[in-house]
Structure 1
Amino acid sequence: MMASYDVIVIGGGPSGYVAAIKAALGGRKTALVEKEHLGGVCLNWGCIPTKSLLRNAEIVRGLSEGERFGFSVGEIKADYAAAQKRSREVSARLVRGIEYLMKKNKITVYKESARFTGAKELTLAPSGGKLAAENIIIATGSKPFALPMLDYSLDNVLDSKKALQMTRIPKSIIIIGAGAIGMEFATVFRSYGAEVHIVEMLPRVLPNEDAEVSVLVEKEFRKRGFDVHTGTRLTGAANDGKTVKAQFEKDGKPFAIEGECILAATGVRPNTEELSLKSFGIKTDRRGCIEVDADMRTSVPGVYAIGDVTGRLALAHTASAQGMRAVSHICGEPAEPLNYNNIPKCTYAVPEVASAGLTEAKAREEGYDVGAAVFPLSANGKAISYGDDTGFVKLVYDKKYGQLLGMHMAGVHVTEMIWGAVGYLGMEMTVEEMAGVVHPHPTVSEAIMEAAHMANGQPIHI
């Protein structure tokens, strides 16, 4: 027997469950299909558990620096197994919250996998049940990209999920990839005393961030004892299950690094293989990402795709925004197209990094007459009081009109401030207008206002 709905969402991650709730709130009879856990990778094996571990790591670092703040705690015994257990508890609590929201909004949840057996029909596994809907939203997310030269069957070869399942910190670890995921895991492991080797194929760490941010972060990581290699390519690895000897090449010269574990943090690929998309004309690109328009519509009418499967920004908040956009189109609600340049990016390392808009290099590439203003946190009262004044706020702007083009920050609490940049960019504010926005004192956010004053040629506190 075929069960029919107005909207079916395949996947219960940040794009899928948000889309399902919005559809239900819009009066649509809605079902959600999720074969594992509601919340997807983000809540279960990504954003949330890593932030829990980073919070534990922050406390460990704070205790180890007690003398700076006038107290002594003696020998610190950090129990990583307890930290890992807490991270799982945090994830479980949030998953229970989503389960409640499904019930509250009368969304039918099928705990199975689904594949297309018609343009508007799905077959579930393992039950063999049949579902149909006028609108189907694909939100199946992504999985870590696997490096072919690594044997992932070995316990000491990790992807992000396996790393979050570890209950002890290795003595040494090699991390391949210096993007947000790699740098965050590096922060956790180093805080608990591991020897950490970071290897990035591109010329700098956090390669998608503004160059000045990358330079600062690499400098700070090196100061804290990380072994960092950029412009370096992994060529092979020997592994006896206890020690990994990884082979690399930099500037044509080979070298090796040994570690107890190796973690591949080299990006993600979409979960689209099992959906039978091509059989029903749903177009994908060479990476397997589903092609969509500004309304998240695929090549088949009534079928939408949102989140990591679209190959845009693999970020939870991007996914949720895409879900909202897709359902707005289904419900006939007007919605502004997403500007992916202005979606904020955050890295929760030490120092934290947050950005939105164009980097200085990208702005020049696009032909702007670029101005840049950098205000250091070493001149910010809250950062100094907090005991962490490393970092800066950088504004990238158009000299001709003064319009803000991008904001790039590194330092304490900057991930909590970047939303302001998104608002400024969306309103096409000028640096003169930004300088007139009164910020509370003392806060790290004042550095944004101070950078705007600098851009206007009227620096106040520097």
Structure 2
Amino acid sequence: MQSYDLLVLGGGSAGFAAAIRAAEANKRVAMIEGGTMGGTCVNVGCVPSKTLIAAANTRHAALHPRFQGLNLSGTAVDWSTVMGDKTALVEALRQAKYADVLAAYPQIEWVAGHGVIRTTDPVTVTVGTDTLVAPRLIVATGAHPWAPPIPGLADTPYWTSTEALASETLPETLLVIGGSAVGLEIGQLYQRLGSQVTVLEALDRIVPLEDTEVSEGLAQYLRTEGLGIHVGVQIQSVAHEDGHFTVQALSGGRAQTFTADRLLVATGRRPNTADFGLAEVGVAMDSRGAMVVNDRLQTSLPTIYAAGDVTGQAMFVYVAAEAGSIAATNALGLGDRILDVTTLPKVTFTDPQVASVGLTDAGTEAAGLDCTCTSLPLAYVPRALANRDTRGFIKLVVEHGTERIVGMHVVAPEAGEIIQVGTLAVKYAMSLSDVTSLFFPYLTMVEGVKLAAITFHKDVSTLSCCAGS
């Protein structure tokens, strides 16, 4: 039996953040992980997907130059080299951002193996024949891709995002079930690298949690690029025979058959809460298997906290890292912090990207706010003109009267870089005049935020370059 100040179950972003916060307070920590160090993001999520997206975008730009006078070549795809380069980056970041980090914190002990909770006061966790004991436990076991119970699906070799980001071959055709961030990001990268991709979404629009204008705009751009986008699709069955997938569905009120070499199911994720002893010791969980926590990330049992995707809340790596630090702070009595995601920025890494923060049109109605909205097409942003890429817009949601900015929604190649200005504006209740009074460097995409704010009171087409507010 080995004693610690804190046990952390899970070696991903949330687990590392929790362990580091405890180590900084000179607490002795055991971090228990039965899988690959680093969790989802670095191994099978953000890092591999974003580097493959960057590779796909590079090829697409070469095939479709936006500037006259350019004759680009070298657009053939050596798939094994592309994937090998991706794998090398994953391994390098796993080493640098996780394995090497442990050396800087001698208070953290890495325990390889599957941990099972046995008691809760004190907390005991068994790992093989070893028993670890501490006053507090933080569960940070992450989540896994989830597939709906479609008839026939379980009997086929379908892909989740994990397999799609590790495929040894580039399929000629790819079907994607799910039109949210993961499905669209992976679908577009495969389209740009040479596959013919068709996306099937059950709801009436893609990225359905985003502003309606955003959904419509992104769908238009993806279709222009050649992706098949079908919404309102009810999947009836899936079959696999002779190396081909067949999906029977109802679409537009009529029966349709979709076929492809590969099938990606991107219909969300579910928390990893089975087989860790959580139910046996009485930790409350919701209908999707997520651990129920309060705003201080404490579970129904006072000695157990949870952080990251295992709680089912805002499954983003940057939220998981913050949550891990907050959970450790509260579990060890180092402070009293809450997790507040009301001004959380979100990014979908398609091209153009989608980014949002705060309220949508529909959200203002639910919040009882009287708001007005204005969308500025990127054709009015000088940098977009210089880039020869005016796809997209910047939309501000503003409270009537106070002119307080309560939401921002962006469709743009650099939307993820632009959105942080909106995050600050929403979090600190900035008004239109607060934004227009700031200096924005000329010939930057973020200058579009100021122009969007000016649009509420002026016609920006009548302003000169670098015009004041």
TM range (shorter): over 0.9
Q: List aligned pairs for 1:411-450, cutoff 5 A.
A: 411-450=412-451
Q: What is residue 351 of structure 2 aligned with on the other side?
A: 350
Q: What is residue 465 of structure 2 aligned with on the other side?
A: none
Q: Are 1:310 and 2:320 matched, yes or no?
A: no
Q: What is residue 466 of structure 2 aligned with on the other side?
A: none
Aligned mates of 1:82, 1:359 — CA distance in 2: 42
Work out whether residues 37 and 95 of structure 1, in 8 Å CA contact, stay in contact via their aligned partners in 2: no
Q: Deviations over 1:324-377 (max 9, x none)?
A: 221222344556533323111111101101111111111122211011121111
Change (3 A) 1:346 1:242: same
Q: What is residue 92 of structure 1 aligned with on the other side?
A: 91
Q: Are 1:121 and 2:123 matched, yes or no?
A: yes
Aligned mates of 2:145, 2:242 — CA distance in 1: 21
Q: What is residue 228 of structure 2 aligned with on the other side?
A: 227
Change (3 A) 1:326 1:66: same
Q: What is residue 163 of structure 1 aligned with on the other side?
A: 164
Aligned mates of 2:242, 2:181 — CA distance in 1: 27
Change (3 A) 1:75 1:311: closer
Work out whether residues 66 and 388 of structure 2, in 8 Å CA contact, stay in contact via their aligned partners in 1: no
Change (3 A) 1:323 1:80: same
Q: What is residue 206 of structure 1 aligned with on the other side?
A: 207
Instruction: Output the amino acid matched with 1:453.
Output: I
Q: Are 1:40 and 2:39 matched, yes or no?
A: yes
Say which SS state the counterpart of residue 165 (structure 1) adopts. coil
Q: How many residues align?
A: 458
Say which SS state the counterpart of residue 274 (structure 1) adopts. coil
Q: What is residue 267 of structure 1 aligned with on the other side?
A: 268
Q: List aligned pairs for 1:168-179, cutoff 5 A.
A: 168-179=169-180
Instruction: Output the amino acid matched with 1:414.
Output: A
Work out whether residues 297 and 339 of structure 2, in 8 Å CA contact, stay in contact via their aligned partners in 1: no
Q: What is residue 256 of structure 1 aligned with on the other side?
A: 257
Aligned mates of 1:372, 1:336 — CA distance in 2: 34
Say which SS state the counterpart of residue 51 (structure 2) adopts. helix
Q: What is residue 73 of structure 1 aligned with on the other side?
A: 72
Q: List aligned pairs for 1:330-409, cutoff 5 A.
A: 330-334=331-335, 337-409=338-410
Change (3 A) 1:251 1:132: same
Work out whether residues 9 and 140 of structure 2, in 8 Å CA contact, stay in contact via their aligned partners in 1: yes
Say which SS state the counterpart of residue 163 (structure 2) adopts. helix
Work out whether residues 143 and 269 of structure 2, in 8 Å CA contact, stay in contact via their aligned partners in 1: yes
Instruction: Output the amino acid matched with 1:72.
Output: N
Aligned mates of 2:319, 2:203 — CA distance in 1: 25
Q: What is residue 105 of structure 2 aligned with on the other side?
A: 105
Work out whether residues 356 and 407 of structure 1, in 8 Å CA contact, stay in contact via their aligned partners in 2: yes
Gaps of 5+ in 1: none
Aligned mates of 1:394, 1:67 — CA distance in 2: 25
- Taking structure 2 as the reference length, the TM-score comes to 0.94
Instruction: Output the amino acid matched with 2:27.
Output: R
Q: Deviations over 1:50-106 (max 9, x none)?
A: 001001001101111247352223462111221111111111111102111112112
Aligned mates of 1:38, 1:397 — CA distance in 2: 44
Q: What is residue 280 of structure 1 aligned with on the other side?
A: 281
Instruction: Output the amino acid matched with 2:401.
Output: K
Once the 2 structures are TM-superposed, how far is the Cα of residue 191 of structure 1 from its aligned partner? Answer: 0.2
Once the 2 structures are TM-superposed, how far is the Cα of residue 267 of structure 1 from its aligned partner? Answer: 0.1
* Identity across matched positions, percent: 28
Q: Deviations over 1:17-48 (max 9, x none)?
A: 11111111122111211112221011100011
- Taking structure 1 as the reference length, the TM-score comes to 0.95
Q: Are 1:217 and 2:247 matched, yes or no?
A: no
Once the 2 structures are TM-superposed, how far is the Cα of residue 387 of structure 1 from its aligned partner? Answer: 2.5
Aligned mates of 1:112, 1:260 — CA distance in 2: 37
Work out whether residues 123 and 135 of structure 2, in 8 Å CA contact, stay in contact via their aligned partners in 1: no
Work out whether residues 63 and 76 of structure 1, in 8 Å CA contact, stay in contact via their aligned partners in 2: yes
Q: What is residue 60 of structure 1 aligned with on the other side?
A: 59
Change (3 A) 1:70 1:331: farther
Aligned mates of 1:255, 1:332 — CA distance in 2: 58
Work out whether residues 376 and 447 of structure 1, in 8 Å CA contact, stay in contact via their aligned partners in 2: no
Instruction: Output the amino acid matched with 1:102.
Output: L
Aligned mates of 1:213, 1:128 — CA distance in 2: 53
Once the 2 structures are TM-superposed, how far is the Cα of residue 298 of structure 1 from its aligned partner? Answer: 0.4
Q: What is residue 30 of structure 1 aligned with on the other side?
A: 29
Aligned mates of 2:288, 2:294 — CA distance in 1: 17
Q: List aligned pairs for 1:149-160, cutoff 5 A.
A: 149=150, 150-151=152-153, 154-155=156-157, 157-160=158-161
Aligned mates of 1:443, 1:423 — CA distance in 2: 18
Q: What is residue 16 of structure 1 aligned with on the other side?
A: 15
Aligned mates of 1:310, 1:408 — CA distance in 2: 26
Instruction: Output the amino acid matched with 2:342.
Output: N
Say which SS state the counterpart of residue 376 (structure 2) adopts. strand
Aligned mates of 1:346, 1:184 — CA distance in 2: 11
Aligned mates of 2:115, 2:164 — CA distance in 1: 28
CA RMSD of aligned residues (A): 1.7
